[in-house]
Amino acid sequence: MLPKTVKIVEVGPRDGLQAEPKTLNVEDRIAFINRLSQTGLRSIEVGSFVSHKWIPQLAESDLVYQGILKNPEIDYSILVPNQVGFDKALENKVTSIAVFTAASETFCQRNINSSIEGSLDTFAKFVPRAKEMGIRVRGYISCAIACPFEGPTAPSKVHELIQKLLKMGCDEISLGDTIGVGTPLQVLNLLADIPAPLEKLAVHFHDTYGQGVVNIYAALEKGISIVDSSVSGLGGCPYAPGASGNVATEDVLYLLNGLDIETGVNMEKLLKAAEYIDNKIGRETRSKVSIALRRVE
């Protein structure tokens, strides 16, 4: 049984741009997000309040957040690693945040300079407050399938973290195949006997081995109805050597349209947003669908 509707979470402005070699200025990032807002997407990750020394591409995400035209029907979120980031979210009246940890100690340490337990302790200091204030909280678990340093991840480790993050108050948990090595068998194993309501779980596939779309299909069959992607397949992960961008939103939309699953997203407008960002960062698209449809034009 496949879901009737799927929410696509567009992470291009954050996960995508954070790993592109070219840093875009605030105006171009705002223009990109404004285009995405017109596509019918209902969830867009705008940027992150992390150290600009670690992720220079997303410096001044506060100005981007302030500058975008906000459609009240769209959830605009900001990635927040700690109290400093949360305070900045409050200053900027951010209504939706995402915290992030990992199922691998080595990755967690390299990504946020903290152990997994340390990251949970950090989040526990502000997530309940965020909830009290009506702020939406998403939790990410990186290396849900494998870690670039430690190898395959046991599904039980991910399940344990899902429970802890939900208990803390997260509204939604996104399971990240950070390095894009998973195949449908691993996705099915990860999602078997999952100790959480499926409607609270999202899948987040990087497309290093070209398995993103087929992995999404496997997840849909398991009852997942929230899918993360980046228009044009932007990005990679700065702390995961060799990882390529997220699965492209156009490719995900083509799959979902073909399955008669409702998303509310308009392909033509999405292709325009993809073209805009490809021109700005000066590289060819990584989306198979964009390549095919541009050829038809």
Q: Which of 32, 65, 76, 100 binds ligand HMG (CB under 6 A)?
A: 100
Closest C-alpha among 232, 294, 272 to residue 13: 232
Residues 131-160 that bind ligand HMG (CB under 6 A): 140, 142
Q: Is residue 86 classed as helix, strand or coil in its secondary structure?
A: helix
> In whole angstroms, what is the distance from residue 192 CA to residue 269 CA?
36
End-to-end CA distance of the chain: 35
The minimum distance between CB 68 and Mg ion, in angstroms, equals: 21
Q: Which amino acid is at 150?
A: E
Smaller CB separation from ligand HMG, 51 or 92: 51
**Type of residue numbered 76:** Y
Binding part of the chain for ligand HMG, among 20-28, 105-113, 215-223, 286-294 by CB under 6 A, reads 105-113
Q: Which does 7 bind (CB under 5 to 8 A by kind): ligand HMG, Mg ion, none?
A: none
Q: Is 82 in the site for ligand HMG (CB under 6 A)?
A: yes
Closer CB to ligand HMG, 49 or 254, in the complex:
49
Pick from 174, 187, 146: nearest CA to 10: 174
Q: Return the number of the residue (182 or 271) whose C-beta is nearest ligand HMG.
A: 182
* The dihedral sign for the CA sequence 166, 169, 172, 177: negative
x/- contact string, 62-81, with ligand HMG (CB under 6 A)? -------------------x
Run of H or E residues at 43: strand 43-48
| DSSP codes, 227-270 | EEEBGGG--B-TTSTT-B-BPBHHHHHHHHHHTT-B----HHHH
Q: Using the rule CB under 5 A, is 10 a contact of Mg ion?
A: no
Using CB under 6 A as the binding rule, whether residue 46 contacts ligand HMG is answered as no
> Catalytic: 108?
no
Residues that bind Mg ion (CB under 5 A): 15
Residues in contact with ligand HMG by CB under 6 A are 15, 18, 48-51, 54-55, 81-82, 84-85, 100, 111-113, 140, 142, 176, 178, 204, 206, 237-239
